[in-house]
Amino acid sequence: MAKKAVKYFECSSCGHREPKWSGRCTSCGEWNSFVEKQPPRSQTSGGGSMGGGKTAAPAPVKLSDVESGEGRRISSGMSELDRVLGGGVMGGSSVLLGGEPGIGKSTLMLQAAGAYSRGGSVLYISGEEAQSQIKMRASRLGIQGDRISLLSESSAELCSQAIHSHRPGVVIVDSIQTLGTEESSSSPGSPNQVKHSVQIISEAAREVNACVFFIAHVTKEGAIAGPKLVEHLVDAVLYFDHSQGELRFLRASKNRFGSSDEIGIFTMDAQGLQEVGDPGRLFLSEAEELPAGTAIVPVYEGSRILMVEIQALTVPGKGGFGRVYSDMIDQRRVNRVAAVLEKHANLRFSDQDVYVNVAGGIRIQDVGTELGLAMALYSARTGMPLPAATAFCGEISLSGQVRSISHLRRRIQQAGELGYGRIVAPTRDASRNNRRMRRRMIGREAVKHRL
């Protein structure tokens, strides 16, 4: 016997469901947002349909019978963008790009559209700017738009129809917060609207084997605005970040078809975004002698080594209580390394305000930077500059030992090519050679201190 369909109520703002109507949504806090919904008529008990007939069950396929094939990657002609995507964007995939206002998301995507148009057609959907504004930016960037089609539309259904009729190779949507769908009665930009719009356009692009880029706004905390479910729906999530200067960093927090550890580096000028293919000394100071509190560290980012300059400063804390100020390196890591130095090197940081910075404004998470961070803190606290032309890399354990790290040979090679003749790094048997490394790290005057 068929099971009686049960009505439910769905929040038009966030999609939260309740068995009965409520004045306020417990999920997003909106008032009078619940709308009555009727479940599909195919919902039954025992597999029968509402009309009494039986619905054919989907037939599973054995994994061994599934044909595996390498997907077709589309190169953008921009090496830094292709690097972050894993060698190019996969056909039929969806990519979500987020970043702060004015950082250059639309400029990056318009330049990518110009590069993609050399090998196929591109559909640029804009819900924020008029077509004349996009044309002005394209002319400034020197982009020829013979194979780029513009569509100023905010309806997800109409965008889906345009994708099916035009059948482009690449679709760019700027931005998802301006899209709306008839399936939801809430205003464009609400979590429910964003979720349904991304689903509709992603499915349309997948049916014509087109890759789609979604430009997204971010909140004041830096996270992509909208439901977290959107990041699960797409194949890759990219974040566009910037430093205090003209540098722009493109990172992947999710990538189903490649590594999520790569980083793309750009500079912004009057001609748009320019790629930085060989960072080299981009993050290093030009001074021959570095002041106290500065250490040079080779950082492994994705598939290349970047030489960065870690800067530390310690001053007496107000009221005898110290705090850590660090934006480019996780504060918890700075606290842990400072605690190791306080325990094993007889240096007191608990009454000091500690400021840590990375030159160039790049955020680093590599565990191999801990030795360089420890040496920068040690140098800042004692006022002793570190030896010239020396680089540091290694992981610091809680017992004060320097542990081995990955890609050590490549780090040493890159540092040597840039003129750093002395590299302080752990050997394979760090415990046996720990005393020798300590002498090389902190000099003869501080051999008595234990690291």
CA distance 181 to 165: 19
Nearest to 107, CA basis, from 234, 267, 292: 267
8 A C-beta contact, residue 159 and residue 126: no
8 A C-beta contact, residue 288 and residue 384: no
User: CA separation (Å) from 433 to 340, 423, 425, 440, 448?
Assistant: 19, 15, 11, 11, 16
Q: CB burial class (10 A; 0-12, 13-18, 19+) of residue 74? A: buried
Q: Where are the beta strands (DSSP E) in 219-288?
A: 236-242, 247-255, 263-269, 272-275
Task: Consult the annotation and say whether 99 binds a ligand.
Answer: yes
Task: Consult the annotation and say whether 36 binds a ligand.
Answer: no
CA distance 373 to 100: 29
Q: Cα–Cα–Cα angle for 123, 246, 276, nearest 5°?
A: 70
In the sheet where 34-37 sits, what is the strand order?
Answer: 17-18, 8-11, 34-37
Q: At what angle do helices 434-442 and 370-382 cross, to 10 degrees?
A: 50
CA distance 438 to 440: 5
- String of DSSP letters for 353-368: EEEEEETTS-----GG
Element (H, E) at 204: helix 191-207
Task: Consult the annotation and say whether 103 binds a ligand.
Answer: yes
122's tokens:
């591109």
229's tokens:
């479910």
Task: Consult the annotation and say whether 106 binds a ligand.
Answer: yes
Task: Consult the annotation and say whether 12 binds a ligand.
Answer: no
In the three-class reduction of DSSP (H, G, I as helix; E, B as strand; rest coil), residue 115 is classed as helix
Does a cis peptide bond (omega within 30 degrees of 0) precede residue 175? yes
CA distance 392 to 265: 23
Task: Consult the annotation and say whether 29 binds a ligand.
Answer: no
Q: Cα–Cα–Cα angle for 373, 374, 376, nearest 5°?
A: 65
Q: CB burial class (10 A; 0-12, 13-18, 19+) of residue 135? A: middle
List residues forming the annotated binding site: 99-106
List residues forming the annotated binding site for ATP: 99-106
